[in-house]
A and B are shown apart, each in its own frame.
Chain A
Amino acid sequence: MQVHKYDVVIVGAGGAGMRAAIESGQRARTAVLTKLYPTRSHTGAAQGGMCAALANVEEDNWEWHTFDTIKGGDYLVDQDAAEVMAKEAIDAVLDLEKMGLPFNRTPEGRIDQRRFGGHTRDHGKAPVRRACYAADRTGHMILQTLYQNCVKHNVEFYNEYYVLDLLLVEEDAVREDGTPYKQKRVAGVVSYDLASGELHVFQAKSVVFASGGAGKVFKTTSNAHTLTGDGMGIAFRRGIPLEDMEFFQFHPTGLAGLGILLTEGARGEGAILRNSEGERFMERYAPTIKDLAPRDIVARAMANEVREGRGCGPNKDYVLLDLTHLEPEHIEAKLPDITEFARTYLGVEPFTDPVPVFPTAHYAMGGIPTNISTEVLQDNDTVVPGLFAAGEVACVSVHGSNRLGTNSLLDINVFGKRAGIAAAEYSKTAGFVELPEDPEAQTRGMLNGLLGGTGTERVAQIRKELQDTMDANMQVFRTKESLEQVLSDIASFEERYKNVVVQDKGRRFNLDLLEAVELGFLLDMAKVMTVGALHREESRGGHYREDFPDRDDEKFMKHSMAYKDSSATTESVAGIRLETKPVVFTRYEPMERKY
């Protein structure tokens, strides 16, 4: 057994992980474990911008940003967290600029800002220019800049080390009111070195999860192949709850049929969505801010246009993103990458022809619950000492039931930084927790089970069927029947998964084996998402139930908390216990959400 000891171990090298590493690496002995090379992470695919109320081009303030974030999340946002994020956004952008990020500039040389969906002046009066950007590759520039600064600070990376288990120990403890409970503490993680096939145990005082999302539960998605919910799945299997998993964002403008993202910044720069009749249909759904309504509203509107027969193309199954009235030089300067995507992948010239688009699965609002200090919670309010999470894998919750565009790049920077500092500071006073006996046992068992399997089921086939049913039944429109269909499908996939075959029996770069492991996480995550969606009999933000089309604050103005629990049954699904957690309110009363 190979054991490494670090003060801080960070799992994941996207925006949140590397932002954390820059802070932690300067304060404590830190290792970053990542299943990809750092610059391969999906932060790099983010395009449009990162909002902060710099007020460089027009009047703005962080309180408006806080309000927009809360309203955008349909009031399921924890308002203290949204306030932290909007307030610290300004420093987060300035930090990146000082690290070298090449933002686009105003004629005065300041950081330029543009419009984005749901970001408004004075509580919804009109769109505001709040998104700081670097052409349409803002995420790319953030990822590169953070990696550059990791190089500068000699951050230690373990590249292509897949973290497959979280080592927690439990101690008997007593609450203030006298009730006994099991206190979890973090001891480290178990990882698999892709190059050699060997397991490595990392003992650490602090562990930061920053491993990203789980978009590959869907077929049509903007997400990378590698976004398989590993971090969420590992935590869930070890008894950490997952919060608000039923809320998944569908980005309105994915390239039709492919799901490749076209930034909302296109609409921020003036592009317009049209149906087969040439109508600017968003006028019907959001009369004030139209195409710049939040993503859940635009995605639903698009799906509705298609459903009512106003879709385009031979199968009438997409709508059009029209940039043709914009100046080609303007598009080339502000949106070079997405125009190239349209040309490369669909053969459409965006200067002269509208681009076929349809909603694409984009972002998990839910995840591992944390407080605003990024400490992971093992229930509604008990912190797991030494365990932290930030970015898409986490749920603080700043996005509530629908994330505003640009707020994820903000989230990773604000809470990544907080996590890095908190993890390093914690490690200065804490000792190492003793590793459990045979810490690799569970991981070794899982891998040997998959390698030694004699079944005939193919990983890719099960994954495809999972993605198909999720697209058909768990997407923009949901009903009791559609969700029950998903759950019954997943139950059969789980049976088939037991007979899955891994053809590659070798030790070197066995990605065949890892895809089988990843499928296990995908199945777990799809199930948790769907159980939550079935239980939440209301419509809010990204979760729309046709059989319950209204928001129901009375019954559902609360976070859902899904626990793995072998003795529980929720919505006829064994093994999951669903609880709730109150939403934190500071100053904003829930209102009807109109744009």
Chain B
Amino acid sequence: MTSEMAEPASKIELPAGVGGGGEIPTFNITLRVRRYNPEVSEEAAWEDHQLTMYGTDRVLDALHKVKWEIDGSLSFRRSCAHGICGSDAMRINGRNRLACKTLLKDLDTSKPITVEPIKGLPVEKDLIVDMEPFFQSFREVMPFLISKGHEPTKERLQSIEDRERFDDTTKCILCAACTSSCPVFWTDGQYFGPAAIVNAHRFIFDSRDDAGDMRLEILNDKEGVWRCRTTFNCSEACPRGIQVTQAIAEVKQAILARKI
């Protein structure tokens, strides 16, 4: 929008009760966490905690309540706590989500809320997995702009439409919720996985990039995009709302179109 914004009258009538608020209700939950610490036992086990939580609390708040008030040894990664750093992907009630973005009130609190590590990556301790294989796949797709020819003195030009073409896949926060929800990845750790393909897509469809063919060749590998069986788990899991399965389909089409 390039035109000037309409200036609203400086004072408006606010409808009664605007802005939400009110007393924050409390409720009780059972948090059922998958515990594992190889320093103590080779066996993983479920552990239940009864907690009283507030209406605005998220699963991360429940985990913190356990760690901070009951058992300091409960281990999980987290940082920003509002869904942007990608540290706290975990399997909550059987579905991959970010703990900091999953409100308890949106879950069925009449039953235990189960929390376990994301699948397909080696568990290190409690909810912490080894992320190295995940980042290795990411690095293999050449996830950086490769541009041939002379660099312009100012910025490269890119039309609004060309910029829009790959907007969706720039949202990725590398949380691994998609890759670790993929049944193919569970059974075949060699598969690149959705996140790596999403990040390849982000460059393949960037009009400024000149290495699309190289990336398509990498993804045309037997462990590449053709392993995808379009189960849509990844799109459902993505906390950023990226249309992951569609991105993979677009990469498949690009490979066919270019007839590598």
Contacts and interface: CB of A to CB of B under 8 A. Distances in A.
B144 A151 contact: yes
Contacts of B206: 100, 102
A1 B78 CA distance: 30
A152 B144 contact: yes
B143 A354 contact: no
A344 B167 CA distance: 22
A226 interface: yes
A571 interface: no
Given A40-B79, A460-B68, A140 B84 contact: yes
A568 B75 CA distance: 41
Contact of A330 (B1, B10, B73, B156): B1
A148 B145 contact: yes
Given A276-B14, A325-B6, A353 B170 contact: no
Interface string B1-19: 1100110101111100011
Given A344-B101, A508-B125, A512-B73, A97 B14 contact: no
Given A274-B14, A320-B19, A224 B125 contact: no
Given A148-B145, A257-B56, A314-B23, A108 B157 contact: yes
Query: What bracket does the count of chain A residues touching chain B fall in?
Result: 35 or more
A44 interface: yes
Interface stretch (B112-120, B158-166, B179-187): B158-166
Interface string B82-122: 11111100000000000001010000000000000000000
A36 interface: yes
Given A40-B87, A507-B39, A502 B78 contact: no
Interface stretch (A185-193, A277-285, A398-406, A435-443): A277-285
Given A224-B79, A509-B125, A100 B163 contact: no
Contacts of A355: 19
A39 interface: yes
A502 B72 CA distance: 7
Contacts of B22: 314
Query: What bracket does the count of chain B residues touching chain A fall in?
Result: 35 or more
A224 B83 CA distance: 11
Contact of A39 (B37, B76, B173): B173
Contacts of B69: 458, 460
B174 interface: yes
A312 B166 contact: no
B84 A272 contact: no
Given A111-B155, A313-B21, A36 B87 contact: yes
Given A39-B173, A225-B79, A508-B37, A280 B10 contact: yes
B234 interface: no
24 contacts: A36-B85, A37-B131, A40-B85, A102-B166, A104-B163, A105-B158, A109-B158, A140-B84, A148-B143, A148-B145, A151-B138, A256-B21, A274-B14, A278-B12, A278-B14, A280-B10, A313-B21, A315-B21, A320-B14, A354-B18, A356-B21, A501-B72, A509-B125, A509-B126
Interface of A: 36-37, 39-42, 44-45, 93-94, 97-100, 102-111, 134-135, 137, 140-141, 144, 148-149, 151-152, 195, 224-226, 256-258, 260-261, 269-270, 272, 274, 276-280, 283, 312-315, 318, 320, 322, 325-327, 330, 337, 341, 344-348, 353-356, 458-461, 501-504, 506-512, 515
For the complex of A and B, 5 pairs with smallest distance between CB atoms: A100-B145, A460-B68, A503-B72, A109-B157, A313-B21
